[in-house]
Structure 1
Amino acid sequence: MPAFNLGESIPPHTEHAVSVSLPTWRANVGYEEGEDWVVGSMTTGYPRFFIHRSIQAFAKDILEKIGKKGLVAFLFPTRQVAARCVSFVKLRAPPAIVSSLEVLHLVLDPVNPQSKALRGLSPSISAVICSPEGFGFLKQYWQHTGDGVSSRRAEFCHSLFKDGLLRVDESPNTAAPMSPKPCRGPRRYQRGGSLDAGKPSITSQTSTTVPDREETSRFLEERFGRNLDVSFVEPAKSAIKRRIAGALRSDRELTSSPVPEKEMESNTRGVVNLREDDIYLFPAGMNAIFNAHRALLGARGGLKSVNFGFPYVDTLKILEKFGPGCVFYGNASEADLDDLEARLKAGERFLGLFCEFPGNPLLTCPNLARIREMADKYDFAVVVDETIGTFANINVLPFADIVVSSLTKIFSGDCNVMGGSAIFNPNSRYYSALKDFARTGYEDTYWPEDVMFMERNSRDFASRIERINANAEAICDVFRENKLIKAVFYPRDNESSANYEACKVPGGGYGGLISVVFHRKEQAVAFYDAVDTAKGPSLGTNFTLTSPYVLLAHYQELEWASQFGVDPDLIRISVGLEDTADIVNVFQAALHVAEHGSQ
């Protein structure tokens, strides 16, 4: 296994890596405490929590250019997103901070003749600027919503800004396009999928069908040292969507011709009328959840939501802070459903029920069949986050009105690009209202370069899942047989396994996530420090990634989390593609250290 230094990107030497090495228990605590020996060594971090250095550099240059040094700036992809951020801050910040708020829009300089070649990319930036005291409020919005710019967008637009191709828009009320103009694609992509192939890169392609696309490709390569043919973007989005629907084999040739919608009928989701345009892409998984919530508020009005089951941290924050609030059921148990049903019978009504399947980090699964029955009877939407189960293992769409997922995780696997998706179930009673909202309320802010990395990374998604499932089951057996382990959390054999089996697809497995709790904290610390894997935030990587998850996600609320059976010393393992015998040996060796080094 490779050794990772403190603060090094995971994967190493990867400019847009999604994770960062925190190799010891003490380093994780130091990160949460903001200690400089940790924070100062970090070259990167998880993108919604750590503002990438390319974004920081761009924000700094913007402030210097407009004479606002000493203030802070957060960068967003569009005017509408920046306006939402400002509204969020105005509702929460003191008057002094609110009065310092300013929004700056950067757009292509229409006078510069080189701008023509870039229009297909829609490279825009909106900066929300305020006094340093407002940093925390802006950061909340950035983290919760996933609405911030990606590091690749920032890097690219910063180059334009330094070359004078992006300038301050003096007419901020000018309407911005809701999404980039669609482009016709080339005849085919070149890379095939392989479990053991090298990492993908954007390769030079030439489109001979549309002259201005040739101009764009040549301009991008010559001026910015990259090959980003905009004619690739729409076919890549289509491929991602069909892959999410289970309607496109990974080795399928992609063409510039539209794929017949009838081919979607054979999707693995069990919904024959599912269409490609029922699947929406977002720059992050949390952004998919945020926009699913926005869509329901827009379609159904201002009702409270239900957060059912112990959630990933920002899901609950979104439901609490955007809109009228939520009711929280932290155990996702039948007793919780009994209580919810009693409230519904008494006349309470809700916008929607949000849940994970399985949940993070306890890997328990709610009873989706019963939830669906209650939703139909009492008129609320069901939103299911399938990130951990993955649609290669489970099919939750028949039970849901909206299914969301973080593509950043196992769908990508390479840990070098963010992404998210949302599927509107065409059989939902809210489908028409959701689609009506999306026509004006959905912005396609997924940066083209990120799209292309995601498409390439996900080509061998299905074959990777099979190996990860097998590795996870083998590692789970090692933990269950070890006397140091107090509890193992895994969907295969827990109290809610029947709920998982009800959604498991033929040939599917149980996913790549395992959580364990040791009898004593010192055993957990010794194990974590000794385990010879990558160690940092995120999950679903092609390599095994270990994390003291609760410390990182709930450090300021450990006592609250423990009410729901979430132990503060829980260790979460995201299992990768390593040889099964090798990775089993890694965990057995760490358990041996924990047994003999913590006595």
Structure 2
Amino acid sequence: MPNFNLGESIPLDTAHAVSVSLPTWSANVGYEEGEDWVVSRMTTGYPRFFIHRSIEAFANELVAKFGTKGCRAMLFPTKQIASRCVNFIRAKAPPSVVGNLEAIHLVLDATNPPSGSPQASLCPDISAVICSQEAWPYAKQYWQHTGDGVSSRRAEFCHGLFRDGLLRLDEATPTSPVPAATTQKSCRGPRRYQRPMSLDGGEKTSMPSNASPVGRGTDVAGSEVQETSQFLEERFGRNLDLSFVEPAKSAIRRRIAGALSNSKHELATSPFPEMESNTRGIVNLREDDVYLFPCGMNAIFNAHRALLGARGSMKSINFGFPYVDTLKILEKFGPGAVFFGHASESDLDSLEASLKSGERFLALFCEFPGNPLLTCPNLARIRRLADTYDFAVVVDETIGTFANVNVLPFADIVVSSLTKIFSGDCNVMGGSAIFNPNGRYYAALKAVAQKDFEDTYWSEDAIFMERNSRDFASRIDRINANAEAICNVLRADPLIKKVYYPRYNESRPNYDTCKLPDGGYGGLVSVTFHDRSHAVAFYDAIDTAKGPSLGTNFTLTSPYVILAHYQELDWAAGFGVDPDLIRISVGLEETEQIKDVFKSALAAAAAEARTDSK
């Protein structure tokens, strides 16, 4: 097993790693307490909780150039998203701290490139919300909850363009123009950046009204689009070929729909032929019913936004113990939410009573299974209630994965974090949402998406995700088998209080309703011990990678509740979530090898138990 030191990236030496090593119980507590001995050694962190060094470096440079002393900047991929962040800060922060709040927008070229060109695919624009230190916590709330922040790869690429003088302030930006010395910097790039622009006080060249956007000869603006596209292709192509971007996104969408076999012939065919079949059980599902996002939480956030746009402002239901930010989204970005924390039949009885009394809701959001207790809600009953009382159903299938379960027939929208087992390599973020074409709100949701959806999934990330996910289906069988083997080891040990796994939970019938004939019970296991000291000894001793995230190709262990709910441990305990719970994301190791790893860690816990008894 790899030996990860405190603060190292997981995987090792990976610039855009998704996890970070917290190898001891005390290191996890120290991280939550903000202790310097932990935080100062962290080279990276989970991307929605730790601002990547590449993003931070670019943000600091933008503040130095466009901000004032003491300000900070949060980076976003588009002007619209930055504006949403500004509106959130103004709505949530005290009026006294929003005085210096502003958004700036940096663009490569003002000309609108034709759809499908390399420039359109890359879209190397970036926006920043610059605010005071007092307003910063509110900007960070927006960034964490929504997943709307920039990808570290986007920040890295755009930072390079900025340093080369190839990004300029959007002409519509209310901030002062970029100094002429910056925009006229001599560099290898489009001629547009090597002569005065209207922004510099020079004469602006306009496209004739009858000119083709990709014309030649005297069509100056059209040639500039071609030139800029060629420049981007050459610059971007040092690492990845831009022509792969749209086929990669198409392949990801089809893979999520269950309509791509991953054969070399099929992947080489671009554009892909019409989808003829899929594994989702929805015959009329199309590729354009699948939407890609920069991370899973952003898929949830945008599903919520789409439903508010399609159905109007109503409270939602968070059904089951939630991943930390799902409930925050429903509470902070709309009229609020009703929370049913156990996902039990009793909770459904209470919900049904509220519905019968006349209460109405926008949507019910749930996970299948839930995190970290792996409880599965009764989707069949939820679907019947939704049809009777007119609310949407949004199911997060991240943990179950569509290789094991099929939840789309029960849902209006299915969301997933592609960062997890779909990718497996722990080096790229991604998220998805599927609109069920047979859902009651499908037409309204598609109309909202047609108007508001922005494809902010960064091109490099999409290419990495496509490559990582090619063997997704074949990895699941090994992970399912390893998880069951680990469960057998844990369930046989007298120090263990409870093992949480869909196969052994009381809600197994609900899981089996959605389980595919060849599916298993997934790669996530949670465990509690009778004594906290035994849990600590087990965690400190276990020879796996230890850090946040799940669904990695290697086994990854975490004291999940400490990391996710440190400020609300009593609240979590009220829903049966033990503060000392350890969550295990099972990987692809040889089965006997990973069993031995767990037996050794249990032996360390047993030694601690013997010490305690003396």
Write out aligned runs for 1:481-500 (5 A). 481-500=492-511
Distance in 1 between the 2:174 and 2:452 partners? 17
TM superposition shift of 1:65:
1.7
Corresponding position: 1:242 with 2:243 = no
TM superposition shift of 1:545:
0.1
Residues 542 and 214 of structure 1, relative CA distance in 2, 3 Å threshold: farther
Between the two proteins, the alignment pairs up a number of residues equal to 557
TM superposition shift of 1:99:
1.7
1:424 matched residue in structure 2? 435
Match of 1:520 among 526, 531, 535: 531
TM superposition shift of 1:259:
2.5
1:227 matched residue in structure 2? 239
1:161 matched residue in structure 2? 162
- Structure 2: stretches of 5+ with no match in the other structure: 112-116, 176-222
Write out aligned runs for 1:61-76 (5 A). 61-76=61-76
1:259 matched residue in structure 2? 272
Residues 67 and 333 of structure 1, relative CA distance in 2, 3 Å threshold: closer
TM superposition shift of 1:64:
1.2
Write out aligned runs for 1:123-162 (5 A). 123-162=124-163
2:570 matched residue in structure 1? 559
2:90 matched residue in structure 1? 90
Contact 1:544 1:574 in 2 (8 A): yes
Match of 1:457 among 453, 460, 468: 468
Distance in 2 between the 1:322 and 1:589 partners? 46
Per the alignment, in what secondary structure is the counterpart of residue 99 of structure 1? coil
Match of 1:294 among 299, 302, 305: 305
Distance in 2 between the 1:117 and 1:382 partners? 37
Contact 2:275 2:287 in 1 (8 A): no
TM superposition shift of 1:225:
7.8
TM superposition shift of 1:582:
0.3
TM superposition shift of 1:169:
1.6
Greater alpha carbon shift after TM alignment, 292-301 vs 242-251: 242-251
2:38 matched residue in structure 1? 38
1:181 matched residue in structure 2? none
Amino acid at match of 2:585: S
TM superposition shift of 1:226:
3.0
2:203 matched residue in structure 1? none
Distance in 1 between the 2:462 and 2:515 partners? 29
1:359 matched residue in structure 2? 370
TM superposition shift of 1:98:
1.7
Per the alignment, in what secondary structure is the counterpart of residue 134 of structure 2? helix
1:178 matched residue in structure 2? none
Per the alignment, in what secondary structure is the counterpart of residue 502 of structure 1? helix
TM superposition shift of 1:30:
0.2
Amino acid at match of 2:159: H
Distance in 2 between the 1:276 and 1:378 partners? 30
Per the alignment, in what secondary structure is the counterpart of residue 597 of structure 1? helix
Distance in 2 between the 1:220 and 1:99 partners? 38
Residues 15 and 221 of structure 1, relative CA distance in 2, 3 Å threshold: farther
TM superposition shift of 1:68:
2.5
Contact 1:213 1:229 in 2 (8 A): no
Write out aligned runs for 1:41-60 (5 A). 41-60=41-60
Residues 212 and 267 of structure 1, relative CA distance in 2, 3 Å threshold: farther
Contact 2:259 2:275 in 1 (8 A): no
Distance in 1 between the 2:306 and 2:359 partners? 21
TM superposition shift of 1:435:
0.2
- Quote the RMSD (CA, aligned, Å): 1.9
Distance in 2 between the 1:593 and 1:55 partners? 40
Corresponding position: 1:2 with 2:14 = no
Amino acid at match of 1:61: E
Residues 217 and 463 of structure 1, relative CA distance in 2, 3 Å threshold: farther
1:187 matched residue in structure 2? none
TM superposition shift of 1:330:
0.2
TM superposition shift of 1:134:
1.1
Distance in 1 between the 2:407 and 2:296 partners? 17
1:184 matched residue in structure 2? none
Amino acid at match of 1:227: N
- 1:525-577 deviations in Å (ceiling 9; x for gaps): 00000000000000000000000000000000000000110000000000000
Distance in 2 between the 1:90 and 1:298 partners? 21
1:25 matched residue in structure 2? 25
Contact 2:121 2:246 in 1 (8 A): no
Amino acid at match of 1:300: R
TM superposition shift of 1:222:
6.0
Match of 2:580 among 562, 569, 580: 569
Corresponding position: 1:331 with 2:342 = yes
Greater alpha carbon shift after TM alignment, 545-554 vs 125-134: 125-134
Residues 36 and 335 of structure 1, relative CA distance in 2, 3 Å threshold: same
Amino acid at match of 2:171: E
Distance in 2 between the 1:450 and 1:224 partners? 13
Contact 1:217 1:228 in 2 (8 A): no
2:105 matched residue in structure 1? 105
Distance in 2 between the 1:120 and 1:584 partners? 46
Match of 2:488 among 458, 474, 477: 477
2:453 matched residue in structure 1? 442
Residues 80 and 595 of structure 1, relative CA distance in 2, 3 Å threshold: same
Distance in 1 between the 2:358 and 2:15 partners? 53
Contact 2:18 2:549 in 1 (8 A): yes
Contact 1:396 1:403 in 2 (8 A): yes
Contact 1:221 1:227 in 2 (8 A): no
Match of 1:347 among 358, 364, 368: 358
Amino acid at match of 2:477: E
- 1:492-551 deviations in Å (ceiling 9; x for gaps): 011000000000001100000000000000000000000000000000000000000000
Distance in 2 between the 1:84 and 1:214 partners? 32
Write out aligned runs for 1:8-19 (5 A). 8-19=8-19
Per the alignment, in what secondary structure is the counterpart of residue 557 of structure 1? helix
- Structure 1: stretches of 5+ with no match in the other structure: 175-210
Amino acid at match of 2:413: I
Q: Which has the larger radius of gyration?
A: 2
Per the alignment, in what secondary structure is the counterpart of residue 503 of structure 2? helix
Residues 216 and 518 of structure 1, relative CA distance in 2, 3 Å threshold: farther
